[in-house]
Structure formats: C-alpha cells, structure tokens
A and B are shown apart, each in its own frame.
Chain A
C-alpha cells in the first residue's frame, strides 16, 4: 500500500490506475482526486476511458494496477459492486437501465436506502416515511402520474429521469453519472442541470458528458481524459484554451 496521506480528505482517490483489454490500455496510469461535496465533470473523446474509469470505481472492472480509495481509506479494488454501492457510491449508466418489467414506484422502492440483506428484503415492509420518500422523489422527477406504469413503457428521457430518481432514493455520498442528458430535449437538459446542481449541494458528483452546453451550465471543475489518462484539469475556460485539448478534439 502506498502512503495514504495524499488520499486523506478526499472522497474518491485514484492513483496510477491501469486497465488493459487484450493489450489495449483503456486506462493508463490514471490519477484523479475528488473532494467531498465537489462536483466534477469529465470530458474526453470516445475511447478516452471515461466509462472504464466508472467501471473501476464501482467494482465492475478490476484494475491491473493502481489504487482506488473511497473516503481516503477504503480500498475499492477489493470489493464487489454491491459492497461498493452499500458504501455510498451510486452510478447512473450511459444507456438508461431501469427494470422494465417493474413499475416506476417499484424501481424507486428497490433503490431505497435500507438493509439490502436477502432475508431483510424478503420481509421488507415499507414504513410510511419510506412511502413518503418514494412519493417525494416521484414528484421531483416528474413521474408521479406514472408511478404504477411498467418502467419499460416510459420514454427515453423519462427513463433517464427515473434512473436519477433511483440515485436520489439511494441517498449516496458519491454519484457517478454517465452522460445523464444523452437523448434529452433542451428543456429536459435544463431541468436535469438544475436537479444535479441541487443534488450536488450535499454530496460529490462526477458527471461524464459530451454536451458542452450542459458542462458549461454545471459550471464545475473539468477533467479531460485522453487515451486513458488525464490530459488537463481545471475550470472549463482554462481547459478549453489548452492547446493539447484543442488538438485532441479538433484533430492534428
């Protein structure tokens, strides 16, 4: 183990993380630190390693080497997805993945923060508080009148919202969002930005996004990934004027 002083005080700490698939390095010595309560946007061309980075943090992919620490000390590379989720890291996928056969309310109920042990789940009965919480989130994501509809019958944008709603239900300390506004209309995008800014008040949020308007609207610190490592980091304006970033985005 490395000396964990630099990790202290961070909520997410990645250092020297390398992942390769059949010789192709999806992540190459990636290092990234996210502070508690911080909102961070991650941009980068296709194949830069954005999704792989999320896979590593959430336990879907084990890194070949490198450290991934949560809350300054918890080694995430030793835990599986469920354990990491229960630590307080939530994730929204690029492609909305809601449970299509279940109703909107049931989707939210599954995400509810509570004991997720098998027997506890079997004998689970929602308290009135928990029911109120579901109702409140339904209101926040604007799906109150669709609560008992199977999630499979929602529109694409509504599914995105439902997934964000599920993240809200989980009440996590860190949220990882992979292209949350892909496929949304401008109005929906604006609403989502507001919602995210609201959420980010009391937790850390990492957003991967292509939509530069949306990134600007979030107004957060930007990390640019390229070929599996960090190319530039800073406020959007600074990053946008970085000649290496321009080169990567506009071609050589």
Chain B
C-alpha cells in the first residue's frame, strides 16, 4: 500500500513542467475577482494533480491565506511547497457560493487521481452528483491510469452514466449499452427513464427503454428474492416460537397459553445476562454474552415450565379447556411479575458485533446478519429436537408415555417425571426462542402475547404432533405473509392468513401432516 502510494507520488512529481503549471494555477487562486478565481480552480482541477486537493479544501474552509507578497499559506505552511511559512499580515482568500460549488466539483474530480483507491472510488461515484463535460473528460483520463479493478468498474459505470447526457447520440448509445448491466441503480434508472422518454434520437430512446425493461425484470426477481428471504426470516421466527409448542401441545396435548410467556422469560433472561456481562465480564467477552444466555434462558424457562406442570397442569390432564384457562392465568401472573421486576418499559438487548450489519445484494436488498443467524438457529433447534426425540432414551420414554401411558408405566418408565421433563423441554425451547427474538425486537412484558395465536396456528396448520409439519407450516405462513404484505398491507395480510387457516382447517381438520387412524381419533 505504502509502496504503491510512493510510486504514485513519484510518478506525479516526476513532471516538472506540470509542477510549474501547478504553482501558476495555485497562485491564481488569490486573484482579484471571483470569476478569475473560479477559472483558476477549474485550471487546477484540469491539471489532475492530487496536491491541489488539500489546497482547495483549505480554501473552501477559509484556511487559505494570501500574504501581501502574493504567497499563499495554509496553517503556517506554504501552499505550494509545503515549507513552513510566516503568515504575518495574511488575509483569508474570500469565496462566495458559486466559487464554493466550483471548488466542490473540482475536489470531487481531483479525487479521481487521489493516491488512495478508496478515495478514487468515492470520487468516481461523486462525479455523478455534478455531471459536466469536464467530469467526463477527467474520468476518461483517470480510467486510463487506473490500476485498481474495483475502482475501475466504478469509474466505467460513472463514465457511462455521464455519457448518457452527452451531446453525441453515439456516446449516449454507448452509455446505455454500458449501463444495461448495472441498471438497478435508482440514479441510473432515473437517467435512463429520461432518455427513454425524451431523447431526440430514436435509437437511443429505444435502447434506453430496452435497458429499463431488463432492469424491471431483474428488479422484480430481486424483490421476489427479498420477499422470500423476509418470509423465511419471519417463518423462522414463527418456527422458533412454535417448536416448543409442538412439544407441549403437539406431543403432550397440553394447551399452554403461557407459552408466549416462556418466550418472554427467555428474552428477559437474555437481557439479564447481557447486563451481567456489561457489569462484570472483560471487554472481549461482551460479544459472546449470547453464548451464556442460551443455556441460561433454557434453564429459566424450563424450570418455570416444570414448576407449572407439577404445580398446575398435571392436575388437569384430560381437561384441555380447564388447562387452557389455568395456563392463561399463569401467563397473566408471569407478565405482571416481569412488569413488577423489570418495569413496564421496553428493555434494549444489543446485537453482538458479529450479528450487526449484513450483506447487501444488488438493488438495495439487504440480508441482515441477525436475521440470517436466526434462520440458521431455528433450523438447528428443530434438528436438535428431532434428533433428541428420535434417538435419545428420553425421547423414547417421551413417545412411549404419550402414546400409551399405562403401558409405559407398567414397563417402569416414570410417567410423571417424563411429563414434567417433556413440558420442561418444550418450555426451555420457548426460552431459547426468546433469546433469538430479543435480537430482532423489543423486549417487553407482553412480548409473548404477540406470538401465542400465531404459534398455535402454526402447530394446528402443520398438524399436531408433527415436527416436520411445524417446519413446513411456519415457513410457508411466513413466506405467504410477506408476499401478501405489499398488496394487502401488513395487517390485512395477517388477517388473510388467519382466515386462510380457518378455512384450511375445514378441509383438513388435523393439519397438513396429520396422523390418521384410530389412535388419532381417540
């Protein structure tokens, strides 16, 4: 990097003839009238000498002083040579708005010859803000010298965009052709639209129209991709909220209206862990508070879930409506408890640095890291649960007890303990979901309320007792919701989805992936 800079600097300074022209142009900056000063600025810019940039900036900021002897001084140094210089009796070079904008354009163009590639890249974009024939000429020159591929692309793009405004139809046509690939940029589309509507040359207008159509198609595709991602993202949130319910409601048949509060407790545990880390953990560990929050949230929610099962729900087995009411009561109490402990206001849970930001796809489509992480996390939780149910001994006991309680007990499986642990598992997963949800939304005492209807819908839609159904149902509901939103608005989209599910249950009362047979009808 430094070597490249040195090389560039050497190249620039190895042109003494230009150096003379440079000093001359600089001297012209303190000329009498504003018109002459502007001319001097333009001359300086046309030279393409990067040294002009600090001088012009200083001028814009009023730090460029003119000594009575005509020498120009910036912050105690000679403007041209950079040698220390006295500023005795010097006055600031006066500027006006017209001059200021000329300076701005010049600095922008001069950025194209900056030794710093990032600066050149920025300049390549900036010239689009003040298109002028000079900019185009400067760009053409800069492209010839450019060594950095990325900056080169940016410059070509800007040049093509500038060409669209050129007087020569051939140039404009070339510009359209060059831009056809990058026509997603709103600025470019604006330029192309203007050409398509009002260009005097029919060929140029037609080419612009064609380019625009291509852009529209690609934009549509991108919007679909964006909707798909947002839908999957929403679906994964639904999935997280519903997985725990798939265990407690789907496997055990317990209707737990406090499920949302288990999620809420997980989110508050995350908040508490974050505060603890901020208070006591070393700075480097702050980014990893989530790693500690996951097991903590699982344990907190699982413990409360087990207490709920042992204390209330087990007395109500076989009475689903009573279970519904009693757990609703629990949910009210948990909400009030959290409100009393933490206050009614929203708590802020920060994304760790590795979850902030995202990658931008073309056309302003953004994949934020926290959403991406949550999608992956939801799938991982589901896979983990499926593996646990399928292969572990506990999973075996769980399935045995739910399928034939008496038989399982007769075989020595402690049915009561399995019930408690199964319920604890479902609640713990809800707690984990709370960790994830704290990363994308507000943490408040009624966080869980927003998810309860949705997650029941997911489980019912997917088919009670089917994890696979839960996955398919949550993702498809998420995607459908997001695709409806642009047409129907967020709320109407939600209403339509609810109505759809109600109608769907007409056709398949037991969901997408229903168990059929005598056991399912008991």
Does chain A touch chain B in the assembled complex, meaning CB atoms less than 8 Å apart? yes
Q: Residues of A contacting B518 with CB < 8 Å?
A: 21, 26
Alpha-carbon gap, A150 to B517, bound state (A)? 33
Q: Residues of B contacting A24 with CB < 8 Å?
A: 517
Binary interface encoding of chain A residues 12-37 relative to chain B, with 1 for a CB under 8 A from any of its CBs, else 0: 00000000011010100000000000
Q: Shortest CB–CB separation between residue B522 and chain A, in angstroms?
A: 12
Alpha-carbon gap, A177 to B518, bound state (A)? 20
Q: Shortest CB–CB separation between residue A244 and chain B, in angstroms?
A: 26
Binary interface encoding of chain B residues 478-522 relative to chain A, with 1 for a CB under 8 A from any of its CBs, else 0: 000000000000000000000000000000000000011110000
Alpha-carbon gap, A22 to B515, bound state (A)? 8
Q: Shortest CB–CB separation between residue A102 and chain B, in angstroms?
A: 20
| Interface SS majority for chain B | loop
Q: Residues of A contacting B516 with CB < 8 Å?
A: 21-22
Alpha-carbon gap, A26 to B516, bound state (A)? 13
Alpha-carbon gap, A21 to B517, bound state (A)? 5
Alpha-carbon gap, A26 to B518, bound state (A)? 10
Q: Residues of A contacting B517 with CB < 8 Å?
A: 21-22, 24
| Interface SS majority for chain A | strand
Give the interface centre of A21, A24, A26 by most chain B CB atoms within 10 Å.
A21
Alpha-carbon gap, A124 to B517, bound state (A)? 38
Q: Shortest CB–CB separation between residue B509 and chain A, in angstroms?
A: 14
Q: Residues of B contacting A22 with CB < 8 Å?
A: 515-517
Q: Residues of B contacting A21 with CB < 8 Å?
A: 516-518
Q: Residues of B contacting A26 with CB < 8 Å?
A: 518
Q: Shortest CB–CB separation between residue B247 and chain A, in angstroms?
A: 22
Binary interface encoding of chain A residues 91-107 relative to chain B, with 1 for a CB under 8 A from any of its CBs, else 0: 00000000000000000
**Which A4-59 residues sit within 8 Å CB-CB of chain B?**
21-22, 24, 26
Alpha-carbon gap, A105 to B504, bound state (A)? 42
Binary interface encoding of chain B residues 456-498 relative to chain A, with 1 for a CB under 8 A from any of its CBs, else 0: 0000000000000000000000000000000000000000000
Alpha-carbon gap, A21 to B515, bound state (A)? 9
Q: Shortest CB–CB separation between residue B465 and chain A, in angstroms?
A: 13
Which residue from chain B places its CB closest to the CB of A60 in the assembled complex? Answer: B521
Which residue from chain B places its CB closest to the CB of A21 in the assembled complex? Answer: B517
Q: Residues of A contacting B515 with CB < 8 Å?
A: 22
Alpha-carbon gap, A26 to B517, bound state (A)? 10
Alpha-carbon gap, A3 to B297, bound state (A)? 68
Which residue from chain B places its CB closest to the CB of A51 in the assembled complex? Answer: B518
Q: Shortest CB–CB separation between residue A158 and chain B, in angstroms?
A: 24
Which residue from chain A places its CB closest to the CB of B517 in the assembled complex? Answer: A21
Q: Shortest CB–CB separation between residue A219 and chain B, in angstroms?
A: 32
Alpha-carbon gap, A145 to B415, bound state (A)? 43
Give the interface centre of A22, A24, A26 by most chain B CB atoms within 10 Å.
A22
Alpha-carbon gap, A21 to B519, bound state (A)? 10
Alpha-carbon gap, A24 to B515, bound state (A)? 13
Alpha-carbon gap, A24 to B517, bound state (A)? 9
Alpha-carbon gap, A21 to B516, bound state (A)? 6
Q: Shortest CB–CB separation between residue A46 and chain B, in angstroms?
A: 13
Binary interface encoding of chain A residues 208-244 relative to chain B, with 1 for a CB under 8 A from any of its CBs, else 0: 0000000000000000000000000000000000000
Which residue from chain B places its CB closest to the CB of A24 in the assembled complex? Answer: B517
Q: Shortest CB–CB separation between residue A81 and chain B, in angstroms?
A: 13
Q: Which 7 A/B pairs are nearest by Cβ-Cβ distance?
A: A21-B517, A22-B517, A22-B516, A21-B516, A21-B518, A24-B517, A22-B515
8 contacts between A and B (CB under 8 A): A21-B516, A21-B517, A21-B518, A22-B515, A22-B516, A22-B517, A24-B517, A26-B518
| Known contacts A21-B517, A21-B518, A22-B515, then 5 further A-B pairs from the complex at CB < 8 Å, ordered by chain A residue | A21-B516, A22-B516, A22-B517, A24-B517, A26-B518
